Structure 1
Amino acid sequence: MNQLTLVNIIQADDRLSGAVKKTPCIHSPELSRLLQNLPATPSSVRVYLKLENLQKAGSFKYRGAMNALSQLNDSELAKGFVTYSSGNHARGLVEVAHGISRDRNVEIPVKVVMPDQAAPEKLRAVRDLGAELFVSPGYDLEPCRRAAEELALRSGARLVGSSEDTAVLEGHGTIGLEFAQQVKEEEGSHGLDVLLVPCGGGGLLAGCLVALRDAGVQVLACEPVVGGGSQLRESLKQGRRVPRDPTVGPSAADGLRAEIGDASWTVISEHLTADDVLQVTEEEIVRALAISRELGMEGSIEPSSAVPLAALLFSEGLHARISRDDKECLNIGIVVTGGTSAKVHTREDHGYRKK
């Protein structure tokens, strides 16, 4: 496994220039005012949103997929790819593969394993893009990972996960670089102080931690506490990755159900403690989604993106941090992470099917 480094993230940023969108960074006066009403806050709080929901393929996952695939030669691409996903990573990978296939005139087969209880629109998107879609019963991504590994082994295709492949994490890390620079370029701004990142498999979190390690930015993880989504804080408490409980029901934030990947855990466990993980309830996620609609963000934010928004609004741990900060102005950033034709196989003996 290659090490995730700032140098490589900077190289990825150069590589992706023109291939991905430089998504907007906007100041939200409404969210800033809501934070300003908290007791004992600094004299000024400014909240910035990084709108990766406007990225190609509808989420930040496009960056990681593009960085990974664009470095491969035609013979490597022709072997194809396998991935597993609740939706956004799969869509990003398939759209990148289609674009490169068209540009280089090389056929790139893509197989995707998804939970059959994933959001119907995400399943449809992967099908409509022409991927070969396999579905695994339930909500949990761990059976999908095992199925994807087997498919890759049998087909000779390359497995591209969203939190295990270092090249993917480098692409994700470019968001941290870009966001910090955009806030710094705001008139009168000293730059980001705090960045709130939703965490499932941990790829975006790991990328931003390395990208902003020397920039003086507190990068905090945000996760739901139900639906098997409270893996990170418990893992950091115990000093080892704690598996999700597959018997626990789903969370509204379905995109955060992935197990923390090897490459991601190596970085996260080095840089964060359990106190750096902000947890939110399902009720808080729903309330954050309602507030986002009131603020005119309807149609632009998915439940996984509402997790850091919920932490911003309701986390006592975050509010305690804010109250202790002695800066005259505290700049807080949130990454809004995001907003599939297939043969479906039946393979009951392996726990997934193609119908």
Structure 2
Amino acid sequence: MHRTPCKTSTTLNEMTGKKVYLKLENLQKTGSFKIRGAMNKVSQLSEAECEKGLIAASAGNHAQGVAYAGKARNVPVTIFMPIGTPEAKVNATKGYGATVKLVGQNFDEAFVAAREEQLRTRATFIHPFDDLAVIEGQATVAMEMLQQSPEIDTIVVPAGGGGLLAGTLLAVKSTRPDIRVIGVQSANSSAIATAFKGKNGGLVPFQGKTIAEGINVKVPGKLTMNIIHSLVDDIITVSEAEIASAILFMLEREKTLIEGAGAAAVAAVLNHHMPSASRNVGIIVSGGNLDISKLAECQNMSIQVPLAK
């Protein structure tokens, strides 16, 4: 995998009143951190597991990671994706040699269809987040961040199924337990945040329409949730307007195209949702596979980003 940059931004520092470090996983192979977990998992499969072919469900980025990993081992890959998946992600997945089947209106419906196909064909299923080998692969993002910028005292992580957040927690809390790790979800799809805050008596499926489709997961993983509950410092939510504004901010001011999932973490820092004690904040910009047609939607939704007091 690429050792992606972890860069600072004078503009972000001035606007937030903090030293901000951007871990640019949008510059990773396939445009997302997801390839780390997929490659780690697929590299450990036996020849017998590979002979059956690989199957996965994804809103886009995991699909590309599995497709890339399958191609690297010369294994056929079938990916189930929701019907509304951005065309750029569908075409990229096909470009890596995978067969794509568009099924269902969201990730969870595509996941059910993929599981049914897996039972029929006995292909090897590659879970997008609830698998320890996948989580271990995602943990390498935080490991690199702390090597590149050891002064970081807080890491902000987008969360959907929880694989990246769980991996970050395992990497950070085992080596630097003093560092805060804060997960970020869209307020429109906030199952992890709701469970963490103790509302409704635990994990309740929660999914709505969000521009951050990469973290629009109705039911997070059991393994990931156990890790998150045990180790995370906080889970916060950001609005759709804040996510849209963060996408535009990164494009206009940082000349960097990011997708809604990665923008959620940027939005949390831009809109001052961080603890006041956090001075050196690392943001995992999880991916850059944005459907360009969504930029007009972002402009219509965006709000003025508040300056630091």
TM-score bracket for this pair, using the shorter chain length:
0.7 to 0.9
Q: CA deviation at 1:178?
A: 0.9
Aligned length: 283
- 8 Å contact from structure 2 (residues 131, 223) kept in 1: yes
TM-score (norm 2): 0.88
Superposed structure 1 runs of 4+ greater than 6 Å apart = none
> What's the counterpart of residue 244 of structure 1?
206
Q: Which residue, 153, 172, 192 being the options, matches 2:152?
A: 192
Q: Which residue, 129, 137, 153 being the options, matches 2:104?
A: 137
1:308 matches 2:308: no
Aligned mates of 1:145, 1:35 — CA distance in 2: 38
- 8 Å contact from structure 1 (residues 162, 169) kept in 2: no
1:337 matches 2:302: no
1:225 matches 2:183: no
Q: Which has the higher contact order (CA 8 A, sep 6+)?
A: 1
Q: CA deviation at 1:60?
A: 0.4
Aligned mates of 1:335, 1:269 — CA distance in 2: 20
Q: CA deviation at 1:306?
A: 0.6
Aligned mates of 1:262, 1:83 — CA distance in 2: 18
Kindly name which structure, 1 or 2, has the bigger radius of gyration based on alpha carbons: 1
Q: Which residue, 254, 262, 277 being the options, matches 2:222?
A: 262
- 8 Å contact from structure 2 (residues 156, 283) kept in 1: yes
Q: How does 1:343-354 map to 2 (within 5 A)?
A: none
CA deviation map 1:62-83 (0-9, x unaligned): 1001111111232221211111
CA deviation map 1:250-304 (0-9, x unaligned): 211010112311221110121236xx112111111111112112223333x1111
Q: How does 1:151-162 map to 2 (within 5 A)?
A: 151-162=117-128
> What's the counterpart of residue 110 of structure 1?
77
Q: State the secondary structure of the residue aligned to 1:212.
A: helix
> What's the counterpart of residue 86 of structure 2?
119
- 8 Å contact from structure 2 (residues 212, 260) kept in 1: yes
Q: State the secondary structure of the residue aligned to 1:92.
A: helix
Q: Which residue, 90, 96, 103 being the options, matches 2:69?
A: 96
Query: Larger deviation: 283-292 or 69-78?
Result: 69-78
Aligned mates of 1:263, 1:47 — CA distance in 2: 30
Q: How does 1:66-105 map to 2 (within 5 A)?
A: 66-101=39-74
Aligned mates of 1:296, 1:220 — CA distance in 2: 23
> What's the counterpart of residue 293 of structure 2?
none
> What's the counterpart of residue 24 of structure 2?
51
Structure 1: tracts of 5 or more residues without a match: 1-19, 37-44, 102-107, 185-190, 340-355
TM-score (norm 1): 0.77
The Cα RMSD (Å) is 1.5
1:147 matches 2:113: yes
> What's the counterpart of residue 25 of structure 1?
6
Q: State the secondary structure of the residue aligned to 1:22.
A: coil
- 8 Å contact from structure 1 (residues 163, 262) kept in 2: no
Q: CA deviation at 1:94?
A: 0.3
Q: Which residue, 148, 151, 164 being the options, matches 1:182?
A: 148
Aligned mates of 1:134, 1:315 — CA distance in 2: 40
Structure 2: tracts of 5 or more residues without a match: 289-309
- 8 Å contact from structure 1 (residues 224, 282) kept in 2: yes
Q: CA deviation at 1:244?
A: 1.9
Q: State the secondary structure of the residue aligned to 1:334.
A: strand
Q: CA deviation at 1:315?
A: 4.1
> What's the counterpart of residue 256 of structure 2?
298
Aligned mates of 1:283, 1:134 — CA distance in 2: 31
